[in-house]
Amino acid sequence: MTSCKQTSKIKSALPSSNIELAILGMVIFIILGLNQLAMANTSPNLFITTTDIENMRSAIKEQGTFKQAFVINKALVDQQILEAIVVPMPEDGGGGYTHERHKKNYKLMVNAAIIYQLTQDERYADYVRDMLVEYAALYPTLPLHPKRKMGKQNPGKLFWQSLNEAVWLVYTSQAYDLILSSLSKAEKEKIELGLFRPIVKFLSVDSPETFNKVHNHGTWTTAAVGMTGYVLGEPEWVEQALYGLDKSGEGGFLRQLDELFSPQGYYNEGPYYQRYALMPFVTFAKVIQNNQPERNIFEYRNGIVLKAIDTTIQLSYNKLFFPINDAIKDKGIDTIELVNGVAIAYGLTGEAGLLDIAKQQDQILLTGDGLKVAQALDKKLEQPYHFDSVAFGDGNDGKQGALVIMRQNVDGEQALLFKPAAQGLGHGHFDKLTWQFYDKGEEIVSDYGAARFLNVEAKYGGRYLPENKTWAKQTIAHNTVVVDEKSHFNGKVKIGNKKHPELLFFEKNDHITISSARIDSAYKGVSLTRTMAFIDLPELDPSLVIDVFDIKSDSKHQYDLPVHYKGHLISTNFELGTQLTNLSVLGKDNGYQHLWLKAQAHPKTNLSQITWLNKNGRFYTQSSIVDDDSSIIFTQIGSNDPLFNLRNENAFIYRNPQSKNHTFVSVLEPHGEYNPSKEYTINAVSKVQKLIHKKENNIDVVEITFIDDRQYLLAFISSENNQANQENKFSFNGSKYQFNGRFMFLEINK
């Protein structure tokens, strides 16, 4: 147990790296000799300020969205505080009873504490106090959690991992701040000595590795400790939270802001974890802003916190996050982390586009920023949020590859994700240069996401399933090239983390977005270059995706390029060669062991066409250049899956059995409509008739001919050192062409 120092809750006077401190000429309070306990008369001022509370108290006297949210929340709290307080001895792991109960408790404490502030009814504060007292009695007696997994996660005491303990404290410190004014000195002493000081000690000085770690677990921990420091008036804890235990700046919250996001605010584990990581960043930043505005935390690193919030929104389609890496597909923009983020960002910036997102989130927070959002929505101030086509540079310098998002500009109904991004740590997949395609609200070319049934005990305890590693992370589970049936980096995360693709270019104009990237390190001696162009010409209704995947090697290999399609196969322009009465497994390992071989086709023409129908009622045809050696394999996930853990999804795989160099060229074409309700079907057949690819002087040329004889030419350069204003020349079919920069697209037979 820590001893109590003679300090009060103060504005920090300790050294800060923020130059603005001096500029702003801040007033420094150093008041020694006062009560060492948190000062009730400054409460609340952690996440919600006294001014916020005054505004909220006024708002609930009038009709409106905010009052509705208050009424609902109060009713929920009223119901819950009727029940006896339960603070159980920690026993269960994630999803188990005691785990869930302690999670429920922190949420309940915050909610009840807010209702206390809004109603000024002591019953709510007393309830929180009583629960905190129980925790204060329990906590000092706790050993490490019985379900801890040493070596895997850092253990907690209330929870099996210290991560949950830090989350618990981020919330509970807020609840405490909100009821401080209702507590006697003795009560405060009991709670702080029994609970807050020991838990802070446990999370900081007793766990230096986690605390100093530049990782989202570290962010939760530093936020928890820093926030508690503000409430208990321990500026030392705040300093440690910001600069690491030794205050050197090598660890701590600011270092995390420097390292964990790219300059554009992209978090390199991907949006699923970005969303999760966001919570402690925005919460602690807001707390710092409330307590030490002179730190200008929201301006830190050119406004990285706000950029991270905005990027999280950009990384969604139809309200759901793009499922890259270990992502559960149900997560979307209505997640509480982003509700909080959007409210805070709106509170700071007043951007009307954020209200569009807030409206879709349909959750009003009982906070100062939540009030601002609610009042703005009541006034219908929202404007359409603008989803953009962006290449999000990866890594802390933004130069370790990129995550590329292309949007159709007319109505944004289509999105293409192209992923020359870095590995993304332990949750990363071996999916360099993969892509995904979305249309009319649905997945069209899809990614499996994570193999996990979150918190479903019967499915491997609710944790990541074994098949997450054996299938979901493997290269064949993605829409990118697999060489010799092995995964990128031979499936080694450590190697993957050290390497990354290079973004060669990303360009866009009114109708075309195009990007090219390369990686030479995924396979030894094999260079992979992919160029994806999203063409959205008005006359090409609805649009086209052109994909040129160029492989170079000095030795012969088998190259597989899978397309994980979503929908029902409608037709192919070749014999399928379907297995009718017996299915066997496609391969032995690296994910191949999970694929049933349903059909293997050997197209006789050099243009293969595969059409499927998505549940959105639209048809999709992929037309592809195939050479004589190639075959197309149709697969279904499901073999070597003894417990039916995997979803039985379908794919086709273009296979080139042995080549040194090979280029996969294809065009994806959404078309037509199937409407069995209104009983019509239109344009169920592809309009692409011919596809030619050639390469001349580093210039790739793709010619597309439609059944009405219209012809289009795409030319691009994917070499590293092309200059924007360089004049590129090539001849094709007897005609000569030239263009500046990276690409050219034109109709040639007009």
- Minimum gap (Å) between residue 571 Cβ and a second copy: 4
> Which one, 25 or 644, has the nearer CB to a second copy?
644
Walk across the sheet containing 699-706 and list its strands.
688-696, 699-706, 711-717, 743-747
Using the rule CB under 8 A, is 737 a contact of a second copy? Answer: no
Listed ranges 120-128, 384-392, 536-544, 573-581: which one lies at the site for a second copy (CB under 8 A): 573-581
Distance CA 373, CA 451 (A): 36
Task: Respond yes or no: is residue 602 known to be catalytic.
Answer: no
> Please, what is the Cα angle at 183 between 178 and 188, to 5 degrees?
95
- Minimum gap (Å) between residue 609 Cβ and a second copy: 11
- Out of 76, 85, 454, 495, point to the residue binding a second copy (CB under 8 A): 454
- Minimum gap (Å) between residue 262 Cβ and a second copy: 26
What is the phi/psi pair of residue 431, to 5°?
-130, 35
Q: Binding mask 576-615 vs a second copy (x if CB under 8 A, - otherwise)?
A: x-x-xxxxxx----------x-xx-----------x-x--
Q: Binding mask 479-518 vs a second copy (x if CB under 8 A, - otherwise)?
A: ----------------------------------------
Listed ranges 66-74, 234-242, 333-341, 539-547: which one lies at the site for a second copy (CB under 8 A): 333-341
Task: Respond yes or no: is residue 594 known to be catalytic.
Answer: no
Using the rule CB under 8 A, is 671 a contact of a second copy? Answer: no
Amino acid code (one letter) for 223: A
Q: Supply 726's token pair.
A: 């360089």
User: Which one, of 270, 301, 285, lies nearest residue 238 by Cα?
Assistant: 285
- Out of 151, 676, 724, 749, point to the residue binding a second copy (CB under 8 A): 676
DSSP category for residue 567: S
Listed ranges 135-143, 260-268, 397-405, 449-457: which one lies at the site for a second copy (CB under 8 A): 449-457
Number of residues near a second copy (by CB under 8 A): 56
What is the phi/psi pair of residue 213, to 5°?
-70, 135
Using the rule CB under 8 A, is 302 a contact of a second copy? Answer: no
Instruction: Please state the three-class secondary structure of 643-697 as a single string.
Output: CCCCCCCEEEEEEEEEECCEEEEEEEEEECEEECCCCEEECCCCCEEEEEEEEEC
> For the CA atoms of 209, 306, 430, 596, what is the dihedral angle to 10 degrees?
120
User: Which one, of 139, 313, 166, lies nearest residue 227 by Cα?
Assistant: 166
Distance CA 586, CA 503 (A): 33
> Which one, 680 or 736, has the nearer CB to a second copy?
680
683 close to 613: Cβ distance less than 8 angstroms: no
- Map residue 738 onto helix, strand or coil: strand
Listed ranges 248-256, 510-518, 563-571, 656-664: which one lies at the site for a second copy (CB under 8 A): 563-571
- Out of 317, 322, 674, 745, point to the residue binding a second copy (CB under 8 A): 674
> Which one, 183 or 278, has the nearer CB to a second copy?
278
Using the rule CB under 8 A, is 120 a contact of a second copy? Answer: no
Using the rule CB under 8 A, is 133 a contact of a second copy? Answer: no
Q: Which residues partner with 519 through β-bridges?
A: 528
User: Which one, of 532, 423, 433, 546, lies nearest residue 479 by Cα?
Assistant: 433
Listed ranges 196-204, 478-486, 566-574, 656-664: which one lies at the site for a second copy (CB under 8 A): 566-574
What is the phi/psi pair of residue 21, to 5°?
-55, -50
Binding positions for a second copy, 627-656, rule CB under 8 A: 634, 636, 638-644, 647-648, 650
Using the rule CB under 8 A, is 362 a contact of a second copy? Answer: no
- Minimum gap (Å) between residue 96 Cβ and a second copy: 11
- Out of 352, 425, 493, 570, point to the residue binding a second copy (CB under 8 A): 570
- Out of 86, 456, 707, 746, point to the residue binding a second copy (CB under 8 A): 456
- Out of 54, 100, 362, 388, point to the residue binding a second copy (CB under 8 A): 100
Distance CA 741, CA 135 (A): 65
Using the rule CB under 8 A, is 571 a contact of a second copy? Answer: yes
- Out of 458, 539, 628, 721, point to the residue binding a second copy (CB under 8 A): 458
User: What b/e sequence results for 81-116 when a residue is b if at least 16 CB atoms lie within 10 Å of its CB, and e otherwise?
Assistant: beeeeebeebebbbebebbebbbebbebbbbbbbbb
- Residue 396: how many other CB atoms lie within 10 Å: 17
- Map residue 628 onto helix, strand or coil: coil
The one catalytic residue among 427, 488, 594, 662: 427
- Residue 78: how many other CB atoms lie within 10 Å: 13
- Minimum gap (Å) between residue 363 Cβ and a second copy: 11
Strands 320-321 and 502-508: unpaired
> For the CA atoms of 479, 480, 483, 486, what is the dihedral angle to 10 degrees?
-60
- Minimum gap (Å) between residue 733 Cβ and a second copy: 32
Q: Which residues partner with 518 through β-bridges?
A: 502, 529
> Which one, 581 or 735, has the nearer CB to a second copy?
581
Using the rule CB under 8 A, is 79 a contact of a second copy? Answer: no
Q: Among all chains, which residue has been given the structure tokens 């919330």?
A: 171
Listed ranges 24-32, 439-447, 544-552, 671-679: which one lies at the site for a second copy (CB under 8 A): 671-679
- Out of 677, 721, 735, 749, point to the residue binding a second copy (CB under 8 A): 677
- Residue 456: how many other CB atoms lie within 10 Å: 12
Using the rule CB under 8 A, is 461 a contact of a second copy? Answer: no
- Out of 157, 255, 286, 331, point to the residue binding a second copy (CB under 8 A): 331
What is the phi/psi pair of residue 95, to 5°?
90, -15
Which residues form the interface with a second copy (CB under 8 A)?
95, 100, 328, 330-332, 334-336, 453-459, 462, 568-571, 576, 578, 580-585, 596, 598-599, 611, 613, 634, 636, 638-644, 647-648, 650, 674-681, 684-685
Catalytic residue numbers? 273, 427
